[in-house]
Amino acid sequence: MADIKKVVLAYSGGLDTSVILKWLQDTYNCEVVTFTADLGQGEEVEPARAKAQAMGVKEIYIDDLREEFVRDFVFPMFRANTIYEGEYLLGTSIARPLIAKRLIEIANETGADAISHGATGKGNDQVRFELGAYALKPGVQVIAPWREWELTSRETLMAYAEKAKIPVDFAKAGKKSPYSMDANLLHISYEGGVLEDTWTEHEEDMWRWSVSPEKAPDVPTYIELTYRKGDIVAIDGVEMTPATVLAKLNEIGGANGIGRLDIVENRYVGMKSRGCYETPGGTIMLKAHRAIESITLDREVAHLKDELMPKYASLIYNGYWWSPERQMLQTMIDASQEHVNGVVRLKLYKGNVIVTGRKSDDSLFDTRISTFEDDAGAYNQADAGGFIKLNALRMRIAAGKGRSPL
């Protein structure tokens, strides 16, 4: 890849990507375009501009992608009630295809020969970024410094930065964070530090968005979420944009101790990894969406969605958002949401999300039929006898042939 003249780098302005920027300039003797995404991580992204300029970067992209992130990635994922390995709400995974998409768009706009990222060779993110990039631009060249260079620790990165006079806050960089963290509007993740011992309890002061359930208010908070075609469009009757919805739910959920998770997951590259996740808004969204679907979805459609969901979750976790199979599943999922409209009422209390009501003009819940009172002939109970006998027929035949399970 010696002929590379311009590279688009996913750039945060921190130690790692600042070193990568300089390393790309030195190693490939190329021009670097920086791209910094605001996905709602809660930190200022504009300072990255000054840092990039100080290192001679001429083309600098700083994009507010919060609405696109929630509208086109988070909401479609939650229409499927997506969780990985029974618990993880995929907060890191779902951000990667959007970053990959924007990297490729910028590469096309600037005539760049390659893209670059700061993901390590041990994790899932390298796979997610690169699978997305190749799906969107088959011939793109990818530079993954962590798989090429000999800088193997934070200390070696700092030494490189100091020697190269890279504008990094060394006092701040020298304070080794106990955790590797990733944040966006959907979640914050924590890895490393004491979490590498699976028997050690996570530290209370680690959490950033939520109070502990023990310290949450003693009085529950009630909220009402309005759904339109499977997406939340209003909270307590107030219409909001997708990003505003998620930000508001994070605020309300965090105040009530909701959304903490401590799991050991299976990475795509083969190793197990322990991570803690804070996903207050997403935890509320999952519970509420299942509640509105419970009255608006046909039984077999709901059950089929539940069967397909683990596959859909694995595709997102492993980096296949832009694959044809994920797009096919999305078409099916989105079609199922046509009548997922209505309102869900929730009670939030000390880490718990409790459904207390759901209503919809598209509800399939028929009180006349399901009532325990007199149904005035809406349902003929005698019909159940034949239904049961027909469903038992194959087992009755087998038992008659001496194949009784006893």
Q: Is 11 annotated as a binding residue?
A: yes
Q: Is 227 annotated as a binding residue?
A: no
Query: Is position 16 annotated as part of the catalytic site?
Result: yes
Residue whose entry in the numeric block shows the structure tokens 């993740």: 189
DSSP count for the chain of H helices, then E strands: 14, 14
CA 208 to CA 195: how far, in whole Å? 16
Q: Out of 66, 79, 116, 125, pick the active-site residue.
A: 125
Q: Is 193 annotated as a binding residue?
A: no
Q: Is 118 annotated as a binding residue?
A: yes
For 45-192, where are the alpha helices, taking DSSP H only? 47-54, 66-69, 75-79, 96-110, 125-136, 154-163, 170-173
Residue whose entry in the numeric block shows the structure tokens 């994922």: 77
Q: Is 13 annotated as a binding residue?
A: yes
Query: Is position 125 annotated as part of the catalytic site?
Result: yes
Q: Is 277 annotated as a binding residue?
A: yes
Q: Is 153 annotated as a binding residue?
A: no
Q: Is 218 annotated as a binding residue?
A: no
Q: Is 28 annotated as a binding residue?
A: no
Q: Out of 180, 294, 314, 363, pick the active-site residue.
A: 180
Q: Is 17 annotated as a binding residue?
A: yes
Residue whose entry in the numeric block shows the structure tokens 């966006």: 184
Q: Is 385 annotated as a binding residue?
A: no
Q: Is 103 annotated as a binding residue?
A: no
Q: Is 12 annotated as a binding residue?
A: yes
Tell me the angle at which helices 242-255 and 280-296 cross, rounded to the nearest 10 degrees.
110
Burial of 44: CB neighbours in 10 Å, binned 0-12, 13-18, 19+: exposed
How many residues are present in the chain? 406
CA 232 to CA 79: how far, in whole Å? 10
CA 153 to CA 159: how far, in whole Å? 10
Q: What are φ and ψ of residue 314, in 5° steps? A: -65, -40
Q: Is 37 annotated as a binding residue?
A: yes
177 SS3 class: coil
- Give the strand pairing for 221-228 and 342-349: antiparallel
Query: Is position 169 annotated as part of the catalytic site?
Result: no
- Contact present, 383 and 377 (Cβ < 8 Å): no
Q: Is 144 annotated as a binding residue?
A: no
Residue whose entry in the numeric block shows the structure tokens 């997403």: 282
Q: Is 93 annotated as a binding residue?
A: yes
Residue whose entry in the numeric block shows the structure tokens 């190693």: 27
Q: Is 230 annotated as a binding residue?
A: no
What value, to the nearest 5°, has the Cα angle with vertex 185 and ends 183 and 190? 25
Q: What are φ and ψ of residue 16, in 5° steps? A: -60, -55
Q: Is 298 annotated as a binding residue?
A: no
Query: Is position 177 annotated as part of the catalytic site?
Result: no
CA 231 to CA 246: how far, in whole Å? 11
Q: Out of 66, 79, 96, 358, pick the active-site residue.
A: 96
Q: Is 265 annotated as a binding residue?
A: yes
For the four alpha carbons of 340, 341, 347 and 348, in that order, the dihedral sign comes to positive
Residue list, annotated binding site for ATP? 10-18, 37, 118
The residues carrying an active-site annotation are 16, 96, 125, 180
Residue list, annotated binding site? 10-18, 37, 88, 93, 118, 120, 124-125, 128, 180, 189, 265, 277
Residue list, annotated binding site for L-citrulline? 88, 93, 124, 128, 180, 189, 265, 277
Residue list, annotated binding site for L-aspartate? 120, 124-125
